[in-house]
Chain A
Amino acid sequence: KAGVTQTPRYLIKTRGQQVTLSCSPISGHRSVSWYQQTPGQGLQFLFEYFSETQRNKGNFPGRFSGRQFSNSRSEMNVSTLELGDSALYLCASSSGTTRYNEQFFGPGTRLTVL
Chain B
Amino acid sequence: AQSVTQLDSQVPVFEEAPVELRCNYSSSVSVYLFWYVQYPNQGLQLLLKYLSGSTLVKGINGFEAEFNKSQTSFHLRKPSVHISDTAEYFCAVTDTGGFKTIFGAGTRLFVKA
Give A contacts to B, CB under 8 Å. Answer: 4, 31, 33, 35, 41-43, 45, 48, 50, 55-56, 90, 92, 96, 99-108
Contacts and interface: CB of A to CB of B under 8 A. Distances in A.
Nearest to A31: B99
Interface residues of B, number: 24
A31 B100 CA distance: 11
Contacts of A33: 101
A56 B98 contact: yes
B103 interface: yes
A2 to B, nearest CB: 14
A90 B90 CA distance: 14
A45 B106 contact: no
A43 B41 CA distance: 15
Nearest to B99: A101
A59 to B, nearest CB: 11
Nearest to B96: A99
Interface in B18-71: 32, 34, 36, 41-46, 49, 51
